[in-house]
């Protein structure tokens, strides 16, 4: 009996050994990303089919805790092979010096994709723009009509924006003209700076060494932004979006996630999307905030070469479009995406792509988090009437200068 | 036999001991080490910097303002939470029809996730939200609760008092049930009024419970984070930046984990000092020695 059992054990071990010996020399690629599994998995299945022997182990991160998880992985030296990063993470990640330099591996893709500034320092490229996101002007066509405005002609300039908001505000009741962003970190910047950038204002010099925030352009932009409070409401992003969807807010700057949620939450809402207004017809640009999702690999990643292959596969027009189409809150980084059939059929989303052409990315400075906070604090001071626009811009300049003088930790 | 039972005891205790060592002791020791270095999770190598992170925190005005904000939160919520919890416990202790329903109703908010509660209150506090709708209907001014630097912290404090009272009510109820009934009967026979019975019997007999509630609630309040993270992210204008939120920003936005650890240890010392003072002030009277 004992001998038989031992014999059985030998057979099991021999079979196990044979199985391991015959297995193909496959590689398991670890990919961390933020999209729902059902959106990304079909793409990964196709990649595995096209690359026999490669298995992609995908892990879904959340925006609430994803950065913490990536940080912990970097601290432990157990990083994934390929990782999706929000563009706002990038200045800190680039400063850490742990991302793989992909400059050579992506050189041929550079003319085909937009958004390289999100993952570059000078000419060196440390990632690949996958999908992009920006902010544009959302307007309620019904409220436009009620206020006697032409709902086919959204405001293109600051005076037109103010006049439209004023007319809608005058409708009274719970109706508000323009949604001014306030009371929320890391969001206010994206709502105010489009006006500053559009007016020719800047934050830092090109070499990122000096602050140039105190300028007549930025002062004028902040004064205009503050003035919008008189013809609207001041609230956080989610509240403004809810007000817009409930049909009580005429105009706000928001992102493509609204295009996705409106058909579900407010199917009857008649709305349009337009470029962020510029200062006047004679000058300025329709600037906005340029953000997006970037694919990166780490110096400590085990399978860097295949990670690059997977990244190239994911940013290919048909694959990035498949993701963007499913998510509907971002657009492919591919140049000319607005001519794709999907976007021709979805003009609101098409505007977002157009908007990205004049959108401005944040500077990839290692201390960007502090620089952004300094600007937001001062803009908020002005929004709460604790400072004039001029004082706030001056104080922001002083804070930025102090921060730039500090050694980067 | 004794060796065997000891081994069994260790075997049963080991899951807790291992968990405590890995998730309690190790982080505690590691953060002490980190606080003495310029450790950053995204940068290789950490340099020993001695006590300079502590010195930096003591010279950092934002650290002090976050400590002040936390102090206001603690001082503003603990007396209210304690009084409300005790009041509720006294109200639902006597037998009456529907007592269980009231007890459950008051307790439920404390078992709901803080994140869920914070999201609900974020909606309630919106400028066009239900609270302001009621205020407007009554002809009262409707403030910008979470947008105003003056109102944001009190708004979070109000939510905390409401949500935490139910839990401490249960603790007080347990304490009240432990007071011998015959003390009240004797006092009643002696003609003691309700207030005298409360002041002379209930409160002194509840001292150990009161101490527990005060210490536990203080430690919890000093660590206020989730409500701030969900509702205001420390704003507007830093008016709700508490110490733990500030150290979270240092650790996970600026990746300055050495500095964040030093702040955590300073908060630990503050907590320890306050808890010690509380135990001194509310220590139960000891039996007189003969």
Question: Are A219 and A335 in the same domain?
Answer: no
Is B144 inside any structural domain?
yes
Is B103 inside any structural domain?
yes
Asked if A309 and A51 touch (Cβ cutoff 8 Å), the reply is yes
Is B26 inside any structural domain?
no
Contacts of B169 (CB under 8 A, 6+ apart): B85, B86, B88, B89, B92, B103, B106, B107
Asked if A297 and A311 touch (Cβ cutoff 8 Å), the reply is yes
Q: Could you tell me if residue A256 is left (phi over 0), alpha (psi between -120 and 50 degrees) or otherwise beta?
A: alpha
* Tens digit of each residue's pLDDT (9 = 90 or more) over B80-131: 999 999 999 999 988 888 888 888 888 888 889 999 999 999 989 988 789 9
Is A342 inside any structural domain?
yes
Question: Are A253 and A149 in the same domain?
Answer: yes
Q: Identify the CA nearest to A55 among candidates A20, A27, A84.
A: A27
| Count of CB atoms situated within 10 Å of the CB of A188 | 25
- As a whole number of angstroms, the distance between CA B218 and CA B214 comes to 6
Residue-range definition of the domain harbouring residue A266: 135-288+364-405
Q: Residue B4: its pLDDT value, please? A: 78
Among A67, A98, A380, the residue with its CB nearest the CB of B252 is A67
Is A113 inside any structural domain?
yes
Is B28 inside any structural domain?
no
Question: Are A125 and A239 in the same domain?
Answer: no
Q: Tokens 């998510």 correspond to what residue?
A: A327
Is B130 inside any structural domain?
yes
Alpha-carbon gap: A379 to the closest alpha carbon of chain B (Å): 10
Is A107 inside any structural domain?
yes
Q: Is the pLDDT of residue A84 over 90?
A: yes
Whether residue B151 lies within 8 A of chain A, CB to CB, comes out as no
Asked if A267 and A287 touch (Cβ cutoff 8 Å), the reply is no
Is B62 inside any structural domain?
yes
Is A158 inside any structural domain?
yes
Is B23 inside any structural domain?
no
> For residues B87-105, b (16+ Cβ closer than 10 Å) or e, as one string?
ebbeebbeeeeeeeeebee
* Tens digit of each residue's pLDDT (9 = 90 or more) over A165-208: 999 999 998 899 999 998 777 888 899 999 999 999 999 999 99
* Tens digit of each residue's pLDDT (9 = 90 or more) over A294-341: 999 999 999 999 999 999 999 999 999 988 888 888 999 999 888 988
What is the biggest distance separating any 2 CA atoms in chain A, rounded to whole angstroms?
97
Q: Between these two residues, B97 and A359, which has the higher pLDDT value? A: A359
Q: Answer yes or no: do B236 and A183 touch at CB < 8 A.
A: yes
| HEC secondary structure over B31-48 | HHHHHCECCCCCCCCCCE
Q: What is the CATH number of the domain that holds B62?
A: 1.10.3720.10
Question: Are A221 and A321 in the same domain?
Answer: no
Q: With a threshold of 0.90, tell me whether the complex ipTM lies above it.
A: no
Question: Are A220 and A350 in the same domain?
Answer: no
Q: What is the mean pLDDT of residues B49-66?
A: 95
Q: Tokens 């719970």 correspond to what residue?
A: A174
pTM for this prediction? 0.82
Residue-range definition of the domain harbouring residue B269: 54-281
Question: Are A166 and A124 in the same domain?
Answer: no
Q: What is the CATH number of the domain that holds A217?
A: 3.40.190.10
Q: Over pLDDT 90: what percentage of chain A?
A: 69
Q: Which two tokens stand for residue B130?
A: 């239900």
Q: What pLDDT band is residue A2 in, cutting at 50, 70 and 90?
A: low
Q: Is the pLDDT of residue B223 over 50?
A: yes
Q: Residue B286: its pLDDT value, please? A: 56
Q: Is the pLDDT of residue B237 over 80?
A: yes
| Count of CB atoms situated within 10 Å of the CB of A253 | 23
Is B60 inside any structural domain?
yes
Question: Are A126 and A237 in the same domain?
Answer: no
Is A114 inside any structural domain?
yes
Question: Are A160 and A283 in the same domain?
Answer: yes
- As a whole number of angstroms, the distance between CA B266 and CA B272 comes to 10
Is A6 inside any structural domain?
no
Q: Identify the CA nearest to A95 among candidates A363, A401, A381.
A: A363
User: Which is it for strands A128-140 and A249-255: parallel, antiparallel or unpaired?
Assistant: antiparallel
Q: Residue A310: its pLDDT value, please? A: 95
Which of B:195-234 have CB within 8 Å of A? 232-234
Q: What is the mean pLDDT of residues B168-186?
A: 93
Least CA distance to B152: which residue of chain A? A183
Instruction: Detail the DSSP E strand segments found in A151-248.
Output: 176-181, 232-235
Whether residue A75 lies within 8 A of chain B, CB to CB, comes out as yes
Q: Between these two residues, A1 and B160, which has the higher pLDDT value? A: B160
Asked if A277 and A158 touch (Cβ cutoff 8 Å), the reply is yes
- For chain B, the domain total comes to 1
Whether residue A78 lies within 8 A of chain B, CB to CB, comes out as no
Q: What is the DSSP letter of B98?
A: T
CA dihedral A72, A77, A81, A82 (to 10 degrees): 30
């Amino acid at each position: 009996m004992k001998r038989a059992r031992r014999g059985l054990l030998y057979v099991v071990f021999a079979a196990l050994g044979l199985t391991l010996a015959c297995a193909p020399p496959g590689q398991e690629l670890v990919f961390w990303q933020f999209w729902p599994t059902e959106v990304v998995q079909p793409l990964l299945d196709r990649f595995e089919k096209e690359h026999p022997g490669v298995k992609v182990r995908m892990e879904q991160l959340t925006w609430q805790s994803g950065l913490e998880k990536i940080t912990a992985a970097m601290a432990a030296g157990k990083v994934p092979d390929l990782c999706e990063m929000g563009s706002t993470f990038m200045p800190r990640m680039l400063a850490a010096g742990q991302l793989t330099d992909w400059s050579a591996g992506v050189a041929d893709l550079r003319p085909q994709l937009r958004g390289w500034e999100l993952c570059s320092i000078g000419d060196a490229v440390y990632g690949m723009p996958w999908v992009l996101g920006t902010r544009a002007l959302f307007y309620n066509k019904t409220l436009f009509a009620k206020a006697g405005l032409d709902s086919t002609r959204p405001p293109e300039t600051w005076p037109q924006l103010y006049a439209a908001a004023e007319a809608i505000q005058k409708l009274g009741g719970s109706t508000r003209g323009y949604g001014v962003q306030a009371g929320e970190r890391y969001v206010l910047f994206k709502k105010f700076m489009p006006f500053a950038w559009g007016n020719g204002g800047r934050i830092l010099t090109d070499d990122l060494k000096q602050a140039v925030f105190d300028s007549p352009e930025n002062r004028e932009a902040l004064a205009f932004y503050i003035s919008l409070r008189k013809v609207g409401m001041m609230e956080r992003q989610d509240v403004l979006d809810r007000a817009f969807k409930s049909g009580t807010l005429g105009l706000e700057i928001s992102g493509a996630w609204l295009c996705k949620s409106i058909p579900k939450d407010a199917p009857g809402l008649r709305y349009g999307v337009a470029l962020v207004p510029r200062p006047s017809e004679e000058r300025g640009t329709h600037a906005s905030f340029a953000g997006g999702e970037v694919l990166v690999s780490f110096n400590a990643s085990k399978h860097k070469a295949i990670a690059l292959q997977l990244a190239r596969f994911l940013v290919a027009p048909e694959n990035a479009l498949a993701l963007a189409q499913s998510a509907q809150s971002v657009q492919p980084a591919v140049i000319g995406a607005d001519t794709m059939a999907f976007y021709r059929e979805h003009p609101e989303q098409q505007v977002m792509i157009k908007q990205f052409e004049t959108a401005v990315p944040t500077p990839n400075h290692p201390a960007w988090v502090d620089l952004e906070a300094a600007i937001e604090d001062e803009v908020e001071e002005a929004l709460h009437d604790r400072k004039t626009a001029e004082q706030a811009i001056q104080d922001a300049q002083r804070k930025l200068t102090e921060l730039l003088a500090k050694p980067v930790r | 036999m004794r060796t065997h039972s000891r081994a069994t005891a260790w075997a049963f205790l080991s899951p807790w001991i291992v968990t405590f060592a890995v998730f309690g002791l190790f982080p505690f020791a590691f953060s002490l080490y980190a606080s003495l270095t310029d450790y950053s999770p995204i940068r290789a190598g950490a340099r020993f910097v001695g006590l300079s992170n502590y010195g930096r925190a003591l010279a950092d005005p934002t650290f002090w303002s976050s400590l002040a904000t936390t102090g206001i939160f603690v001082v503003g919520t603990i007396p209210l939470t304690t009084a409300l919890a005790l009041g509720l416990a006294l109200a639902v202790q006597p037998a009456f029809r529907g007592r269980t329903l009231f007890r459950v109703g008051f307790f439920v908010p404390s078992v709901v996730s803080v994140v869920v509660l914070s999201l609900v209150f974020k909606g309630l506090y919106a400028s066009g939200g239900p609270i302001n709708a009621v205020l407007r209907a009554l002809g009262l001014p409707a403030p910008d609760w979470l947008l105003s630097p003056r109102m944001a912290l009190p708004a979070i404090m109000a939510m905390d008092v409401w949500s935490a009272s139910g839990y401490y009510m249960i603790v007080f109820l347990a304490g009240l049930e432990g007071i011998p009934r015959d003390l009240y009967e004797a006092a009643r026979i002696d003609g003691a009024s309700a207030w005298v019975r409360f002041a002379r019997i209930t409160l002194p007999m509840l001292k150990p419970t009161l101490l527990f509630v005060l210490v536990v609630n203080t430690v919890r309040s000093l660590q206020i984070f989730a409500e701030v993270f969900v509702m205001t992210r420390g704003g507007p204008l830093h008016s709700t930046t508490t110490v733990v939120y500030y150290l979270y920003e240092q650790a996970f936005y600026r990746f300055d984990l050495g500095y964040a650890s030093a702040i955590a240890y300073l908060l630990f010392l503050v907590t320890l000092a306050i808890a010690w003072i509380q135990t001194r002030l509310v220590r139960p009277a000891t039996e007189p020695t003969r």
